Amino acid sequence: MQQQHHKLNIFKSVNFNKGIYVSLFQLILLVSVFTQVTAGAQIKDNRLPIIIDADTANEVDDLYAIVRAIKEPSFNILGITSAQFHTSPLATENTVQESQDINEKILNLMGDYSIPLPLGSNVPITNNTEPASSPASNFIVKMAHKLPAGEKLNVVVLGSSTNVASAILEDPSIIEKLKVHYLGFWHTVETNTYNKKEFNTGNDPKAVDILLNTKGLDLSIMTATTSQHLVFTKAEVDAQLKNKGGIADYLINRWDTYERWWTKDDPEKKSWIMWDVAIIEALAHPELSKIETFLTPPENTPRLINIHTKIDIDLMKTDFWQSLNKK
């Protein structure tokens, strides 16, 4: 009887220990899975949350900038919104739809169907207190609120600033959640003087003033003065992209077929200013651009804004081509 009782105790002990080992194994497995999931989430969270707002159909550089941004692993592109450019002599009655169509074409050629493409406003803001609302401005508001506390939504404006200014008017509570990167106007560093007679600014002057006047808005400007120095040549573009198919040929074709209406210089289009590429490169690699703080123009609310005053042209070009050639 004692022998049977002893065997029973041994059996219970073995099963008890086995249960501990199984539970311990399950715990280790659970911790491992949790660690992997957490690590994955951290990698994703470390990417810069970005919305690109572009008047893509207006010119050539927008297309190159968007493709470069999509190729950037440190960007989490939440959406690409379309912008109007109604002051262009080539403008149709629906310039925002033209930009929208090219945005869709770019993503199709790159095989990326995951990025939302909300349509922007086809008209500028006409009243400083009334937004020119659109799916794009609604989307900016929505995405700003979705971000975790303390994290800012980077809105990169490559054309008119109608959509982001409208978003601010629609819901001022997003101001502290935004970081706006605007490509526009001219600026003289030495005297801190501004010249707003510039294409992007002219397509919605009231929207630009809203950005400048909004206290608490984190605003950085890549001026035309600075970005004009980033120039691509047709020879280097052909060498890097020609006859490679897909998006590469699309970029080449855009250069070849777009009518450059603002200048009679360089009729053979041997070079092109890549204004928009400069702001994307500066965002991807802050070390390639010098940023200084300046007071806003005298006609605007006095506050400090950030302005890119100098860029490393050679390194930006090198990085651009390396990024585009990555598989």
Check residues 208 and 7 and name the one with the higher pLDDT: 208
Same domain, 294 and 315: yes
What pLDDT sits at residue 262?
A: 84
124/80 same-domain check:
yes
Q: How far apart are the first and last CA of the chain?
A: 75
Adjacency order of strands within the sheet including 218-222: 75-82, 48-54, 153-157, 178-183, 218-222, 304-311, 289-295
Pair 5, 65 in one domain? no
My answer on whether 210 and 151 are in the same domain is: yes
pLDDT higher than threshold 50 for residue 227: yes
Phi, psi of 121 (to 5 degrees): -75, 140
pLDDT of residue 36: 53
Confidence at 130, pLDDT banded by 50, 70, 90? very high
Do residues 14 and 56 share a domain?
A: no
- Give the residue-averaged pLDDT of 234-256: 97
Greater confidence (31 vs 19) lies with: 19
Question: For the chain, what is the domain count?
Answer: 2
| Percent with pLDDT over 90 in the chain | 82
- Per-residue pLDDT tens digits for 147-199: 999 999 999 999 999 999 999 999 999 999 999 999 999 999 999 999 999 99
Residues 187, 107 contacting (CB under 8 angstroms): no
Provide the CATH number for the domain around residue 94: 3.90.245.10
pLDDT exceeds cutoff 60 at 19: no
Strand partners, 233: 271
Residues 100, 6 share a domain: no
Res. 23: pLDDT tops 80: no
Q: Quick one: pLDDT at residue 43?
A: 47
Confidence of residue 261 (pLDDT cuts 50, 70, 90): confident
* 90 and 33 co-located in one domain: no
Name the residue with higher pLDDT: 141 or 261: 141
- Domain extent, residue 200, equals 48-324
Distances from the Cα of 300 to the Cαs of 65, 194, 249, in angstroms?
30, 11, 44
63 pLDDT higher than 90: yes
Within this chain, do residues 37 and 67 fall inside the same structural domain, yes or no? no
What was the pLDDT predicted at 263?
Answer: 85
User: Do 78 and 33 belong to one domain?
Assistant: no
Reading the block at residue 325, the tokens are 């050639």
Predicted pLDDT of residue 253: 98
pLDDT tier at 9 (50, 70, 90 boundaries)?
A: low
